[in-house]
Structure 1
Amino acid sequence: MSRPTDAHALRTAFLDFFAERGHERVASSPLVPFNDPTLLFVNAGMVQFKDVFTGRDKRDYRRATTAQRCLRAGGKHNDLDNVGFTPRHHTLFEMLGNFSFGDYFKRDAINWAWEFLTEVLGFPADKLVVSVFNGEGDDAPFDQEAYDLWAELVPKERIYAFDAKENFWQMGDTGPCGPCSEIHIFRGDGPAPATGGQPGKGPAYEDDAYMELWNLVFMQYEKHEGGRMEKLPAPSVDTGAGLERLAAILEGASSNYGTTLLAPLVERGKQLAGVSGDQGEREASFRVIADHARATAFLIADGVTPEKSGRSYVLRRIMRRAIRHGTLVGLDEPFFHEICDLVVDQFGDAYPELREARAAIADAVQIEEQAFRRTLDRGLKMVEATLAELPAGAQAFPVDPAAKLYDTYGFPIDLTRVIAVEHGLTLDEDEVAARVRELQGAGDGAFVGGDAKINDVYFELANELGATQFLGYAEVEQRATLQAIIRDGQRVDAAGEGDAVELIFDRTPFYGESGGQIGDHGTIDNSGSGPAEVRLEVSDSQKPTGGLIVHHAKLASGRIKVGDQLSLRVDVTRRDAIRRNHSATHLLHHALREQLGKHVAQKGSLVAPDRLRFDFSHPRPLTREERVAIERQVNEMVMANAATGTEEMSLANAKQAGAIGLFGEKYSDEVRVVTIGTSSVELCGGTHVARAGDIGLFKIVSEGGVAQGVRRLEAVTGTGALDWVQHTASIVEQAAAELHARDPDDLLVRLSKLQEELKLKERELAQVERKLATGGAGSSEVIEVEGVKLLVRKIGAADPKVMRDAADTLRDRLGSGVVVLAAERDGKASLLVAVTSDLAGKKVHAGKLVGALAGHIDGRGGGRPDLAQAGGPKLAGLDQAVADAATQLAAQLSK
């Protein structure tokens, strides 16, 4: 294998090296962890294999190699504040790894790492040092095996033994764990010092002299409660080598930002700023921009959008930090989308999802930058004003202005802290957050949103009864045993006619609301054991906790008791409508990803009998052409009439099959995969049609935004779609008849003609109003108030533009003075004050005068010194306002 020439070739060389040694080449997982809500982002190469190491997940291979994109910018692993100011800190980075799941162990892991570094990359062997675990008692002793293996490759004087902080890895307080060996490179001149075994020497103590390149974790123990260690029956290997660090050594760069991974992004920022070469203190800003552009592009490609909470807020912080650093180096116009676009070019070969999401990345970045620049301009002015007012010797930025910045302008608290630090000040972010809660009327620890409190009785029943057996995939009617009755929140043994109850059976065909699909309706009776004396109407079915399915029902007749055998019947017509909409939701999801890009990720859904609703990540409204294309693709899949398949499989196999799930959701080890033909493959527990053709017609009825970067589509299917089409056609027919149009195309022509006629009439009316408003303004209408001319006129009905035009005309006629106009518009009162330039702001302020008069119409208003308007609901007050104008003007002139 030839020596790679740059960072991108290095990535390929690593994967090829281990693939040649029997490793499955596994694609990088998205940055949002699949099936692991405990992590904000994937922060290490082994995250996608976590369940494999613990034995909960089985794979078809026992060796794997990856180039995994990772992100550390929030939660426990947060390097954000250091990024750009050190040579090696990043938000996003790539971790190269090779893994053994009970296959090879220490010898192969050590030999291959050494071979790759010294023979493939050509790193000088005499500059490399290694470390091993020095032991912690009998449970986890000194790693003699690793030491002896390294001694075959490296002089003992360059082997160091360190404690658990440096050389022992564990996933948590309990679980798989083991010693690790690290490979470091000496960064000084000449060979690495031969100081192995000497206390206080080596990479654990001399950070500036060494740089870690590779970490080999040997998972050979399981740690139990209390700290007891047991050997694993199948020891495993988890290794990680940072691509950025390896590239810096390979390319002879003094910093990761000088490698082919990041240098082009740094240079692009400088080109846009019109500078070149080392920028001294400003160099850090260009590094921040480069790093954050890479993180931004990958996050958006993985379905994250800049919003106000969670992962989305981390993205927003990253983007806004980069944009602010852009303003520090003179990038005063939107620029960040151009750097992100270069990320797509640079990394798109290794990560094709970037190319697929190029348009979405550009849209999301431009929208966020435009919004933040407005926030930044307002916020920075307030920050500067606060800094200017601080007394000499102040050490902290005050809490109240920081809280107001966030509450009023959306100015990030952490950005205020960064600016404060730049001025030698501190800021207590926790105290600011507490003050924000006060301003917003929330108490300490207040949480907006979240699930409603689940009745404690459900927890008891879940522990006692276990999950309800769901039969509804295949059946819509079934006999079952009544296990529990809840009335008014309490368990009871029996219930009678008229009671509203919640019922739990050992099994049921009723679907309990979950996964966006609402619960079934239907009936329950005792018809299986003779005449139906008992009848209940089921109005809802819920799944509150522990797999329980709770039937909300009302006893129409008879009496029931725990232990009864009853017949449960789902409303089939309603269920079929829900099935159509649920399957259509899957096809819609697939079409959205095909038409808009793989960045599209589900953000929520509702599947009801009358409609479906689907929320998804996308940075901008859909064009009419996109809506048509999406709708057409769904209907083409419906007409293809592919069969729906369902299969229970392991989560790992489902992911390998390309199944789409909700990121952040916690799935069980065995999942249900629903496929419709060969296109749509999703993890889903809902009910579906037998064939796509059962959906019938699919029609999108609305599209809009629900949050920044999140769009919502609503659609109808089957007879619901037919009803919508027929209703719309009826409206079109009625409109055509009213306008005497021959057909819908002629209707559009006639509407266009009517609009032109209406605009002409409006212009003519405005001219008439203007003449009426300005006509006859003779000297008799003008009075003097303390030497200032005042013209007051009630002009009837007029829109704001007519009033402004009239005021301009009358003000010009006065030459010097004040004009007060009163008018009615759409049942509301309007006032306008205009002041000539020689008086405005000197003797008379239009905004203050109109504000004084606005009380007569129960309104308020304001404006510039020369022109101001007010509006209010009280029409009867217009005459009082006109009569009071002279008095209020006199009061202002006397001040």
Structure 2
Amino acid sequence: MKSQDIRKAYLDFFKSKDHLIVPSAPIVLKDDPTLMFNNSGMAQFKEFFLGNGTPKSPRIADTQKCLRVSGKHNDLEDVGFDTYHHTMFEMLGNWSFGDYFKKEALAWAWEFLTEVLKLDKDRLYVSVFEGNPAENVPFDQEAFDIWKQYVSEDRIILGNKKDNFWEMGDQGPCGPCSEIHIDLRTDAERAAVSGRDLVNADHPQVVEIWNNVFMEFNRKADGSLEKLPAQHVDTGMGFERLCMAMQNVTSNYDTDVFTPLIAKVEEITGLKYTSNEVKNISEEQNKTNIAIRVIVDHVRAVAFAIADGQLPSNTGAGYVIRRILRRAIRYGFTFLGTKEPFINKLVEVLANQMGEFFPEIKSQQQLVTNVIREEEASFLRTLEQGLQLLDKVVAETAGKEVSGEKVFELYDTFGFPKDLTALILKEKGYSFNETEFESELQKQKARSRAASEVTTDDWKVLIEGNVETFVGYDQTENNVKITRIRKVDSKKDGVLYQIVLDATPFYPEGGGQVGDKGTLVSANETIEIIDTKKENNLILHFAKQLPENVEAGFVAKVNTDLRTSTSKNHSATHLMHLALRTILGTHVEQKGSLVNPNYLRFDFSHFSKVTDEELRQVEASVNAQIEAQLQLVEHRNIPIKEALEKGAMALFGEKYGDNVRMIEFGDSKELCGGIHVKNSADIWHFKIVSEGAVAAGIRRIEAITGDAVKDFYKNQESTLAEIKEVLKNPQDTMKAVVALQDDNAKLKKQIEQLLKEKAKNLKGELVSQIQEINGVKFLATQVDLNPEGAKDLAYELGNNETNLFLVLATAEEGKPMLTCYVSKELVASKNLNAGQVVRELGKYIQGGGGGQPFFATAGGKNVDGIKEALEKAVEFVK
């Protein structure tokens, strides 16, 4: 069966068992601060397991895009070296929310694998939880008895807590699990060693394909377990591994999930990939295979993340995506000889292969291709830069072992991989101190852990069974009761308290809009709310202290000044989105936004710089919509299909429910959960303050509205008044500035001419100061010129003198600069290198630099070091 047919068979089977089939949630999570990425099939259903929401059906099935590259679930370093770990993978899942339990889940798993897919029963093994007396969790007798109906007892394996007890995290829903493993070895291998002995032993052909998790318990902060009010089933099946079993191969990479991508890499590089069936391959071929596996795996992760709205960057989730892509680029660079961007060429293959089931990869194909191409070009330049820095490190190393600290600096600052450094050093006859490197790496990890360490207490529920609601679209004040509280202690923010209210007017951060701030006021005290966020369908109000009486009645008051300014910026964002699509074209799509009280930031797809004229048109369009006094039209809780039929824009990478909120201002129609003005005239005025690139094909506009625009124009007026005063209040300020610029240009030319004449005069004086040392004409002196003049003078002297080694120092405006010139004949005969000279002498002026072997410069901060630098210069020729 082809992979597309296997996926369809699974979903059709569970549809026949009355499961609602739902689409995959985005791979990038935007509404769960506890996770960067969707790392399992159950992540999008956490709120239902926690009892904070109601699913649209008690039975659901799907295939979920997952990414495991950070935190507890991190498979990145295994990818490529084995044949079954991946960064991105699909997890087929069927879910029961308080409906069926072990009997049905296990029966259907067996039916699908053995009757629908017709996998060989003799190759299948199952496992059940052996129990844990220390935690008072018994042996899973129920699952064991169910399995005895389908398999002999010698095929039922008892698993420990590590293998057969699944937990969402340190706290939260958890329970025993029952796995199904398949033995894909040859008949001869199976006869020699029982598959039973290889289950959970990391054997590449004896692998888990299905995990049935029975959510029965809640793990509390103190480690104890309590029974959940309802029992749930959370199952996950590795799609790629299932394809391996169904296509009769022994590697995920030999399935049609990966073979089209591998074929494209072979076409681009001219190198061949060998199937896992081929044995006794050479070490060189093995390295090629690993590199190709890394690349075809990583391009899937990166492409789907970008399609879901996560651009590569230097922080957070964006840094993880950049790191995955750079790992792929580096493997191509080192082992496939690819010195030009090529991974972007795989996106078309991926889109054709998976676009039918995951339409986002098809619709965002051009953007994904452009972003990956630009990232490749950038990192290849970084690799070249790293090679130059490595040359410098080698030149400064005494002996044949490079400092591990220096190698870590290359890795940490420039993203230069350790193993690539080791390879290059080996070619040069060097090694590096791995102990020092690991020590620095561990220090960094310890700092990172310390910065992100968070301790969360259990929820203290004050009002049982309460359904918390949001009333903030209509009210900024409301009488409330606290329903639950918990303490959170982090290295970053210290001790904070999360408070949940029964009916809050506070808007939680989401859709680019920041969370509300305000107060909780009782008869006796006022508690400041410093932020509002949403987690697992709960609205969390953050405070530095709890009320003395948490059971009292309170008035929740939103800071309306901040709320009003934020709403103006949010509504202006919608109006600007429409203006951009009207003026630049309908290819423009929102790729990110930030809306706070001070300004708005909007990222959008567009493949060239927005011209000044286009920006003026966008501004004019938005302000025309403001002046038109467009009334807000709000559709709450309408079916998403109806909203789309009305012309609403849905954004890729966002998770929408069956019912949505639609916001209209004239022709602007968007799905949005944020806070808006009642009439566009409330925005007052819109002003763009900057436009620039964020990534390939992504532009960013920052703009202001309302009072911020008034302040902007006041500052402009004040600045103009100051300029006029400096210019002695001319009648025509512009004419006066132009005249000043003209005068300045004339004076610059005069100064340049004077300096050239000065350098000519100086040249005669310096020729007489040249000494001959060991057959080298040597001069090191300070000159009263600017750096450009020193450069001209150096070349003048070099053209007149052979065998010249020259170091000139300047100190214009207190900034020391060293200029080194080496005659080309000396570069070869005396092994003199101007770049190395200035790097060494630059230390004395607290700086550095570089250049070519015959000419280089170094700038610094310490003028007093010039004397010593010039004195040390002679040592290069002595």
TM-score (ref. length: structure 1): 0.66
Higher mean Cα deviation, 673-682 or 338-347? 673-682
- In 1, distance between residues paired with 2:196 and 2:841? 81
1:289 aligns with 2:295: yes
The residue number in structure 2 matching 1:298 is 304
Return the offset for 1:251: 2.6
* Letter in structure 1 aligned against 2:89: F
1:75 pairs, out of 52, 71, 75, with: 71
The residue number in structure 1 matching 2:267 is 271
- In 1, distance between residues paired with 2:201 and 2:771? 86
Partners of 1:54 and 1:175 within 8 A in 2: yes
Return the offset for 1:619: 12
1:600 aligns with 2:565: no
Return the offset for 1:283: 1.0
The residue number in structure 1 matching 2:495 is none
The residue number in structure 2 matching 1:189 is 187
The residue number in structure 1 matching 2:405 is 400
The residue number in structure 2 matching 1:349 is 356
The residue number in structure 2 matching 1:89 is 85
2:242 pairs, out of 229, 240, 246, with: 246
Structure 2 alignment gaps of length 5 or more:
132-136, 275-280, 464-468, 481-500, 534-539, 546-554, 728-733
The residue number in structure 2 matching 1:743 is none
1:804 pairs, out of 769, 791, 794, with: 791
**Residue-by-residue CA offset, 1:356-390 (whole Å, 9 max, x unaligned):** 44344334434443443344456568889889999
Higher mean Cα deviation, 691-700 or 774-783? 774-783
Distance change in 2, residues 1:755/1:94 (3 Å):
farther
* Letter in structure 1 aligned against 2:791: R
* Letter in structure 1 aligned against 2:21: R
Distance change in 2, residues 1:768/1:518 (3 Å):
farther
The residue number in structure 2 matching 1:689 is 677
2:58 pairs, out of 54, 58, 62, with: 62
- In 2, distance between residues paired with 1:855 and 1:240? 59
Q: How does 1:63-462 map to 2 (within 5 A)?
A: 63-106=59-102, 108-121=104-117, 123-131=118-126, 133=128, 136=131, 140-143=140-143, 146-147=146-147, 150-151=149-150, 156=152, 159-165=155-161, 167=164, 169=166, 171=168, 175=173, 177-180=175-178, 182=180, 184=182, 187-189=185-187, 203=199, 210-219=206-215, 233=230, 235-278=231-274, 280-281=285-286, 282-326=288-332, 327-377=334-384, 399-407=404-412, 409-411=414-416, 431-433=439-441
* Letter in structure 2 aligned against 1:703: E
The residue number in structure 1 matching 2:730 is none
Distance change in 2, residues 1:199/1:360 (3 Å):
closer
Structure 1 alignment gaps of length 5 or more:
438-442, 454-458, 464-468, 481-505, 525-537, 552-566, 739-745
Return the offset for 1:72: 1.9
Distance change in 2, residues 1:134/1:381 (3 Å):
same
The residue number in structure 1 matching 2:490 is none
Partners of 1:178 and 1:221 within 8 A in 2: no
- In 1, distance between residues paired with 2:22 and 2:518? 41
Return the offset for 1:630: 7.0
Give the structure with higher Rg (CA): 1
SS in 2 for 1:581: helix
Return the offset for 1:295: 1.2
Distance change in 2, residues 1:725/1:620 (3 Å):
farther
Distance change in 2, residues 1:586/1:275 (3 Å):
same
Distance change in 2, residues 1:304/1:404 (3 Å):
same
Q: How does 1:612-651 map to 2 (within 5 A)?
A: 612-614=599-601, 623-624=610-611, 641=630, 643=632, 645=634
Distance change in 2, residues 1:580/1:754 (3 Å):
same
Give RMSD over aligned pairs: 6.6
Distance change in 2, residues 1:286/1:633 (3 Å):
farther
**Residue-by-residue CA offset, 1:190-245 (whole Å, 9 max, x unaligned):** 999899xx996684679566443333344466788887775865x44332222112
Partners of 1:357 and 1:599 within 8 A in 2: no
Partners of 1:299 and 1:315 within 8 A in 2: yes
Distance change in 2, residues 1:66/1:790 (3 Å):
closer
Partners of 2:309 and 2:652 within 8 A in 1: no
- In 2, distance between residues paired with 1:836 and 1:418? 34
**Residue-by-residue CA offset, 1:747-768 (whole Å, 9 max, x unaligned):** 9xx99x9999999998898678
- In 2, distance between residues paired with 1:471 and 1:228? 35
* Letter in structure 2 aligned against 1:293: V
Partners of 1:307 and 1:709 within 8 A in 2: no
Distance change in 2, residues 1:201/1:9 (3 Å):
same
- In 2, distance between residues paired with 1:730 and 1:187? 80
Higher mean Cα deviation, 221-230 or 76-85? 221-230
Partners of 2:93 and 2:234 within 8 A in 1: yes
1:717 aligns with 2:705: yes
Return the offset for 1:106: 4.8
Return the offset for 1:349: 2.6
* Letter in structure 2 aligned against 1:516: V
1:583 pairs, out of 571, 586, 606, with: 571
SS in 1 for 2:57: coil
Return the offset for 1:44: 1.9
**Residue-by-residue CA offset, 1:796-818 (whole Å, 9 max, x unaligned):** 87x65455345434443456657
Percent identical among aligned pairs is 31
Return the offset for 1:79: 2.0
Distance change in 2, residues 1:808/1:228 (3 Å):
closer
Return the offset for 1:275: 1.6
**Residue-by-residue CA offset, 1:541-595 (whole Å, 9 max, x unaligned):** 85599847899xxxxxxxxxxxxxxx99999888754531243346668989997
* Letter in structure 2 aligned against 1:715: A
Distance change in 2, residues 1:599/1:89 (3 Å):
farther
Distance change in 2, residues 1:599/1:344 (3 Å):
farther
- In 2, distance between residues paired with 1:823 and 1:420? 37
Distance change in 2, residues 1:213/1:591 (3 Å):
farther
Return the offset for 1:40: 4.1
* Letter in structure 1 aligned against 2:303: A
Higher mean Cα deviation, 14-23 or 587-596? 587-596
The residue number in structure 1 matching 2:11 is 15
Higher mean Cα deviation, 313-322 or 674-683? 674-683
Partners of 1:606 and 1:613 within 8 A in 2: yes
- In 1, distance between residues paired with 2:423 and 2:142? 44
- In 2, distance between residues paired with 1:549 and 1:76? 29
SS in 2 for 1:607: coil
SS in 1 for 2:596: strand
**Residue-by-residue CA offset, 1:574-617 (whole Å, 9 max, x unaligned):** 87545312433466689899977778244x55323xxx143769
SS in 2 for 1:694: helix
- Equivalent residues, number: 780
TM-score (ref. length: structure 2): 0.67
- In 2, distance between residues paired with 1:849 and 1:223? 63
SS in 2 for 1:88: coil
- In 1, distance between residues paired with 2:225 and 2:541? 34
- In 2, distance between residues paired with 1:858 and 1:220? 64
